[in-house]
Amino acid sequence: MRVITGVARGRKLVALEGKDVRPTTDKVKESVFSIIQFQVQGRVFLDLFAGSGQMGIEAISRGAKKAYLVDQSLKSIRVIEQNVKATGFEGSCAVVRQEAQAFLMSARENFDIAYLDPPFEKGIINEVLPLVSAKMNKGGVILCECADSEVLPEDSGDFVLDRTYRYGKIKVSLYRHREML
């Protein structure tokens, strides 16, 4: 696993190991950042269920102003901190060990881009999406990575499902503010 492009291009990142871990593949990561490539510069990025933190780190490498890397697992937080330090992004990344819903209910900042990649097939996106959409800036986007078989809502708050991209058994759903469609 590595940073694909930007100021930290080519830097290797550490990933958690085990059967319950499913890092976003480079193919999916590259596709996601192609989708939002002109929306990253100077923005605030939320990497919810961050795992290794690779999506938020990639956003910072590509010019995002700040990234919140949120995970409830202590093992994940240790890996995220290691990856943030290895890329030199300590000043741009806020690493938060907290359950997703608790973080969203207490967050004081709104986000421009949110990436949700929770454990698959547990309905977690449907639970947190309303909280995420309430914390988004009007011109923002929400991207949800899940199993292709999962059914996601057509809208959440002011955000509407715009497109779905499929990569084998994985899909990434893109939500935009209804006034931006």
Instruction: Assess if residue 17 is contained within a domain.
Output: no
pLDDT band with cut points at 50, 70 and 90 for residue 17: confident
Q: Which pLDDT score is estimated for 26?
A: 87
Q: CA torsion sign, 140 to 174 to 22 to 106?
A: positive
> Phi then psi for 143, rounded to 5 degrees?
-120, 130
- Whether residue 71 is contained in a domain is answered as yes
**Tens-place pLDDT, residues 148-159:** 999 999 999 999
Residue 140 domain-assigned? yes
Q: How does DSSP assign 31-73, residue by residue? A: HHHHHTTTT-TT-EEEEET-TT-HHHHHHHHTT-SEEEEEES-
Residue 85 lies in a domain: yes
Sheet with strand 66-71: strands edge to edge: 93-97, 66-71, 44-48, 111-116, 136-147, 170-177, 159-167, 155-156
Would the pLDDT of 45 be above 90? yes
113 falls within a domain: yes
Q: Is residue 20 part of a domain?
A: no
pLDDT confidence of residue 75: 95
Query: Can you give the pTM of this predicted structure?
Result: 0.96
Across the chain, what does the average pLDDT equal?
95
Alpha helices in 62-113 (DSSP H): 74-87, 100-106
pLDDT for residue 19 is more than 70:
no
**Does residue 13 register a pLDDT over 60?**
yes
Q: For the chain, what is the domain count?
A: 1
17-54 in b/e burial notation, b at 16+ Cβ within 10 A? Answer: eeeeebbbeeebbeebbebbeebbeebbbbbbbbbbbb
Question: Does residue 53 contact residue 85 with C-beta atoms inside 8 Å?
Answer: no
Segment among 6-20, 34-48, 64-78, 164-178 with least mean pLDDT: 6-20
Would you say residue 46 lies in a domain? yes
Q: What is the pLDDT of residues 102-140, one digit of tens each?
A: 999 999 999 999 999 999 999 999 999 999 999 999 999
Residue 2 has pLDDT above 80, yes or no: yes
- Residue 164's CATH number: 3.40.50.150
Domain limits at 36? Answer: 26-180
- Report yes or no on 141 lying in a domain: yes
Decide if pLDDT at 147 tops 70. yes
